[in-house]
Structure 1
Amino acid sequence: MTSPEMTVDDLIDLLSRCDRDAPVCQAMNPFFPMSHRLAQVVQSVDETGQTVVYLAEGRDENTQLGHLPPEVAIALAWQEPVQAPPRRPRRSAGGK
């Protein structure tokens, strides 16, 4: 991997070394959704004996790319679509 960005090809190459039936997991915070670069793929076994593959973010200061785009957070069901609040009628200068 020569680029600081992990490509799909890089990920496929790393994942091809793992159990193809294992679920892929990444620990992220849905309450403060941020976009992170991937840096590692680690295969392990969970407490039930099932093989699990974890995708890990990098450790350098450029790993966090910024806020996750709202449409992605919505697609992941981490946020609900936000709509502007309904407009209320304006009050007149006389207070009525």
Structure 2
Amino acid sequence: MEPQPEITVGELIDRLSACDRDAPVRLAINPFFPMAHRVADVVAGRDEAGRPVVFIAEGRDEDGQLGHLPPDVAVALTWQEPTVAPPRRRRSVRRRGGE
């Protein structure tokens, strides 16, 4: 599988500008066990090669991880396949005495 190109600050701003300005920002982490996390900070830094990089950080408090990522978000990220609940089957009625 070929690595995805990294999103730039400009692309992130463009995508965020289409969103509700009052909506909280969350991080979606780990495609194999999708979880939602609070965003605590944004910090400009440099990578190992000295190139500028922007880091989005999770909070340090114990409630930084909010729980499982909503299934529709995991599907939109292509981390999971859409699922449909299996049809419900009628249960047979058990009778006493093996009737």
TM-score range, shorter chain: 0.5 to 0.7
Q: Could you tell me how far 1:47 is from its partner in structure 2? A: 3.5
| More off after superposition, 58-67 vs 48-57 | 48-57
Matches of residues 1-96 of structure 1 in structure 2 within 5 Å? 20-21=9-10, 28-85=29-86
Once superposed, what is the RMSD of the aligned Cα atoms?
A: 3.1
Distance 1:77 1:23, change over 3 A: same
Paired with 1:23 and 1:45, the residues of 2 have a C-alpha distance of: 18
TM-score (norm 2): 0.53
TM-score (norm 1): 0.54
Deviations 1:24-44 (A, max 9, x none): 9x7821111111111111212
Distance 1:45 1:29 in 2: 24
Matched length: 68
Gaps of 5+ in 1: 1-18, 88-96
Residue 61 of structure 1 aligns to a residue whose secondary structure is coil
Match of 2:33, SS state, is coil
Which sections of structure 2, spanning at least 5 residues, go unmatched?
A: 1-7, 14-26, 89-99
